[in-house]
Structure 1
Amino acid sequence: MNILSISSRVTYGHVGHAASVFCLQRLGHEVWPVETTLLSNHLGYPAWGGRQLTTEEVTMVLDGLERFGVYPEVDVFATGFLGKAPQLAVETLAKLRRSRPDMLYALDPVMGERKGGLYVPAETAVLIKRELLPQADLTFPNIFELDYLSGSRVETLEDAIRGCEAIRAQGRPNLTVIATGIERVDGNPQVIETMAVGPQGVFLATAQRHPLKAHGTGDCFAAFFLGHYLNNRHDLETSLGLAASAMAAVVEATGDARELALVAAQDAFANPPKKAKLERLR
């Protein structure tokens, strides 16, 4: 499958496209990354260099691809960190859908975390909810983004299910929500949970939680899920189980390193050892 992706780029480490592109390629997909940042490393480090690209710079890349005539070949459009080009993502999605009405749109609504709140402008978060979410086929909110997009704070398992359903109600009939890093008072703090809610049902994947310094797990998980979803004829249960097990293998290989061990763990991407428990809730 051909995947056109708009997201961030760092030189050192594995976040944004520096995580997702390799994961998707190892699962057999062509990825055409359009960058919204050019940074030395992620901003969690004490020192960094680089910048967010301007809207004009991102536009030039996308305009070049459009003139080159490859838009009809795009099977999947994916968006992550939008930087200064959120409106451009809306416009690009509309153009791609005109070329390929059957194209899949995968939205990672990168906007914030519970600890720090929004780390994008409020206008970007509003645009994601009002303009991009209604057009998505897949979306990958973390727990903060689940709260924001659903309009209510998740505290329990039932809250999480209701939150996912509230997001689904805002989108296309086939919208599937894959909520990562579920935090709930009625859960087990020794495990990490990912929930998938869509037309095929409600599923929960559970894996052992490990102390982790590295960033980028959300980018990796979304790529693992998308890659397996495409490879397994959109089967939700199979894709969730494979993605959760692949992510667990990466986390175990990473240990206390400061960046994800993607290269070392790459053999586990396509056929991971079973490291996640999968349960159908509904």
Structure 2
Amino acid sequence: MTNLEDSPSYRVLSIQSHMVSGYCGNKAAAFPLQTLGFDVDILNTVQFSNHTGYTSWTGGRLTDVDVQQLFDGLEANGLMDQYTHVLTGYIGNFDILRTIENKVKQLKERIPYLIYVCDPVLGDGGRLYVAPEIVPLYRDVLSVADVITPNQFEAEVLSDIKIINLKTAKEAANQIHAFGVDNIVITSMVLPPEDVPKTILLPHSKSTESASNTNHQPLYCMTSQRHPNGDVQQHLISFPTYEGYFTGTGDLFSALTVARIQDYPHSLAQAIFKVVASVNAVTRLTWEHQRKQQHGNDKMIVDKPNDPKLVHACELQVIKGKKEIEHPDLIGHQILMVEL
């Protein structure tokens, strides 16, 4: 029988947005981490009624002064020295991001084993979500981060390299390594099928409206790990996708990255393979939930709905995905990986 007193103790400071209803930001990060045995201290830089995929929302944002005051309160009571990990997600304010960068630098001087996982939420689909001046600041932050989890667009913005194939994806990762971060996960990429190793090539579906044919366009996740001797090891992971409207998957991904790198401290690829399996399973549960809310109608939700009830029906099924978070199926759901 396992002695709980002998189990590792991890405490995460998670700094990102918060939604009263729905699963984005800290709402998507805290439960998975707690499920996997991590204590989570939550600093909400934004508190909204719901995420911005709805037609309206209310709430407010902290300033850098507010964030610094919270840091000061934690420091005054000796609580900052308990952290083993820092996680950051959406930080849309330049001064808050600078304040966080400075605090992480201070913590790393005192806590050499502290791990900082940074999800550089800049945008998606060719569009920035943040002011352009935040981009060079994130490049500075990379020298402090231990792991970063950009999507394809964010990797392009950070590296200033357009990813059009596997070659340019590898070049973008190498450029980002040059900014100082050793572990890079490009969480989702579109690649030409002829560019993908055959051992992990998944089929495209012929009809995305068919209930029995769930496979939409496959996506790819790439890991790039720079080892202490300077060697870079890169892996490509393929996974199926589901046609629907999804929010919060990136926040879930970065939170699970925090947990799984503890399981595989020397293999970023193995850790992320498990992360992809969990996130894909929760996405599938969400897809199935969307279908049920459509009462079996073959016409699926494919874009952001205008009706708040339908947006709510698309919320990430994080709680129902508890089993998939704890014990993802690593064999049965077409999650494949190859070393490049």
Q: Which band: TM-score by shorter chain?
A: over 0.9
Alignment of 1:118 with 2:128, yes or no, is: yes
* Aligned-partner residue type, residue 127 of structure 1: L
TM-score by length of 2: 0.78
Which aligned pairs between 1:52-67 and structure 2 lie closer than 5 A? 52-67=61-76
Q: State the identity %.
A: 28
Deviations 1:93-117 (A, max 9, x none): 12211221231111110111134x2
Query: 4+ runs of 1 displaced by more than 6 Å?
Result: none
2:337 corresponding residue in structure 1: 279
* Aligned-partner residue type, residue 327 of structure 2: N
Which aligned pairs between 1:1-282 and structure 2 lie closer than 5 A? 1-84=10-93, 85-115=96-126, 117-129=127-139, 131-172=140-181, 175-186=182-193, 190-199=217-226, 201-255=233-287, 256=290, 257-274=313-330, 275-282=333-340
Point out the structure with max Rg over C-alpha.
Answer: 2
Distance 1:68 1:235 in 2: 36
Distance 1:237 1:7 in 2: 25
Distance 2:325 2:44 in 1: 24
State the Cα distance separating 1:88 from its structure 2 match: 0.9
State the Cα distance separating 1:140 from its structure 2 match: 0.4
Question: Is this contact kept in 1: 2:87–2:255, CA < 8 A?
Answer: no
Question: Is this contact kept in 2: 1:142–1:179, CA < 8 A?
Answer: yes
* Aligned-partner residue type, residue 124 of structure 1: I
Distance 2:334 2:326 in 1: 15
1:168–1:276 distance in 2 versus 1, CA, 3 Å: farther
Residue ranges of structure 1 left out of the alignment (5+ in a row): none
Distance 1:276 1:8 in 2: 32
Q: After alignment, is 17-26 or 74-83 more displaced?
A: 74-83
Question: Is this contact kept in 1: 2:240–2:335, CA < 8 A?
Answer: no
Distance 1:163 1:233 in 2: 24
SS in 2 for 1:195: strand
State the Cα distance separating 1:276 from its structure 2 match: 4.4
SS in 2 for 1:20: helix
State the Cα distance separating 1:232 from its structure 2 match: 2.9
SS in 2 for 1:8: strand
Question: Is this contact kept in 2: 1:176–1:197, CA < 8 A?
Answer: yes
State the Cα distance separating 1:278 from its structure 2 match: 3.1
Distance 1:204 1:278 in 2: 8
Distance 2:60 2:244 in 1: 26
TM-score by length of 1: 0.93
Distance 1:102 1:27 in 2: 20
State the Cα distance separating 1:234 from its structure 2 match: 4.2
* Aligned-partner residue type, residue 118 of structure 1: L
SS in 1 for 2:133: helix
Question: Is this contact kept in 2: 1:20–1:220, CA < 8 A?
Answer: yes
SS in 1 for 2:13: strand
State the Cα distance separating 1:83 from its structure 2 match: 3.2
Question: Is this contact kept in 2: 1:205–1:276, CA < 8 A?
Answer: no
Distance 1:270 1:143 in 2: 27
* Aligned-partner residue type, residue 71 of structure 2: L
Question: Alpha carbon RMSD of aligned pairs, Å?
Answer: 1.6
SS in 2 for 1:42: coil
* Aligned-partner residue type, residue 106 of structure 1: V
SS in 2 for 1:171: coil
2:208 corresponding residue in structure 1: none
Q: Aligned residue pairs: how many?
A: 278
Residue ranges of structure 2 left out of the alignment (5+ in a row): 1-9, 197-201, 205-216, 228-232, 291-312
Distance 1:253 1:235 in 2: 28
* Aligned-partner residue type, residue 246 of structure 2: A
SS in 2 for 1:263: coil
